[in-house]
Amino acid sequence: MTKHDALSSKKSVWAWALYDWANSSFWTTVSAGFFPIFFKQYWSAGVDPTVSTAKLGLANAAGSFVLGMLSPWLGAASDKGGLKKKLCFAFTLLGVLATLGLYFVEKGAWFYAALFYTLGMIGLGGATVFYEALLPAVASPRDVDRVSALGYSLGYLGGGLLFAVNVLMFQKPELFGIADGATAVRMSFLTVAVWWALFSIPLFVVVREPKGTGAAGANPWREGFSQLLSTLRELPRLRNIFYFLIAYWFYQDGVSTVIKMAVDYGLSIGLESKDLIQALLITQFVGFPAALLFGWLGSRWSARGGILVAIVVYIGITVMASQLTTGRGFLVMAIIVGLVQGGIQALSRSFYARLVPEARSGEFFALFNLLGRFAAVLGPLLIGVVGLLSSDPRLGVLSLVALFLVGLFFLLKVKSPPRAGA
């Protein structure tokens, strides 16, 4: 590799990783932070908390279902036509515009809030499919754990920094010339849209996408559909990939549910919003170095081993969550989540990148994200439905243990691929 190639590679890695910095603003400020609180207390004012929790769970599930239906076909087409960056841009634009739309939703208009939030989730999830599919193009097999972890660590740092500013806007609106806290929350959605759009630019400008694998002059959409059908027939014979996808489906269901529903759950059991926001901030800043540490452990030890450890910790977190009674307990739980959340996500992404053929990364990462999205259908529904049936949201949280156990079982069936240089 020449010096120029090495420099280009470093630029591509940082440009790629910076997209995590960009889109994590939606995860922190919108999905995990203000949207659940605002949805319950502003857009669903006067509605029973259990009912609003069910509505939020259904909104999450709807977005995941739509994206899950589209992404495998789009992923296969992106491989054939070299369309990963274009599709990433299209979904990013959808997410940014939907986030802007939240600013204009008036008090009590819960349906429009849920609609824009669902579109934002579709934009974020769709963009992530093609962003992650570019990982094998920017990182060598030797560095894939560390590059994946770099992305997640920047995501925690960037998302945490903007969220900290948004929290200050909410708590001290007069410092920013804002009328009140409700207006500050709406303004925070505008800052997310600008942040997401601005820091996405390096990915689209710097990262080079490999040429498509389709035949010259062929229709990538038709070829992609045919390739998808072929892969689905082939998948059960690809035992390592097949078992990992099943494992990921279940344990990521639990992880995603913890991320998406934590604040809403805390409100449902009577915790104060200020304690929940503080806990989310701590999770972000603990997650920054923890994700880097997991990336280092994955490259030195075993990505699969790191994931197994994180699953066991999440089982403990779920049991702990079902017993929470104080804001301090929620804070302790948030610190533990921060220690493993970025790690399990980063190592899952890099471990999977080693398992799949690079020329079909869009297709296989679409399946990866498909299962992540469909997994996120089950988790929020469990929280909502079990909470409604039992009138106790704690039982809904406790049911997530089963998801982690199934994920653990199938991950133990996966054989680690040979390491680069081994």
Q: Please return the burial class of 393, using the count of CB atoms within 10 Å of its CB with bins 0-12, 13-18 and 19+.
A: buried
Question: Residue 203 above 90 pLDDT?
Answer: yes
Question: Over the stretch 92-133, which tens digit does the pLDDT of each residue have?
Answer: 999 999 999 999 988 878 888 888 998 998 899 889 888 988
Place of tokens 């471990």: 351
How far is 291 from 341, CA to CA, in rounded Å?
8
Residue 221 is predicted with a pLDDT of 67
Question: Residue 422 above 60 pLDDT?
Answer: no
Question: Residue 23 above 50 pLDDT?
Answer: yes
Question: Over the stretch 350-392, which tens digit does the pLDDT of each residue have?
Answer: 888 888 887 777 778 777 877 766 666 677 777 667 767 777 7
Give the pair of three-digit tokens for residue 117.
């939030």
DSSP state of 139: S
How far is 145 from 293, CA to CA, in rounded Å?
10
- Residue 363 near residue 79 (C-beta atoms within 8 A): yes
Q: What is the mean pLDDT of the chain?
A: 81
Question: Residue 70 above 80 pLDDT?
Answer: no
Give the pair of three-digit tokens for residue 9.
């590679």
| Domains of the chain: residue spans and CATH | 12-206+236-411 (1.20.1250.20)
Give the pair of three-digit tokens for residue 301.
């030890």
How far is 373 from 67, CA to CA, in rounded Å?
7
Residue 2 is predicted with a pLDDT of 44
Lowest mean pLDDT, pick from 169-173, 273-277, 283-287, 327-331: 273-277
319 band by pLDDT with thresholds 50, 70 and 90: confident
**Residues sharing a CB contact under 8 Å with residue 62, sequence separation 6 or more, in sequence order:** 118
Lowest mean pLDDT, pick from 14-28, 241-255, 362-376: 362-376
How far is 275 from 409, CA to CA, in rounded Å?
35
Question: Residue 194 above 90 pLDDT?
Answer: yes
- Residue 186 near residue 153 (C-beta atoms within 8 A): no
Q: What is the pTM of this model?
A: 0.74
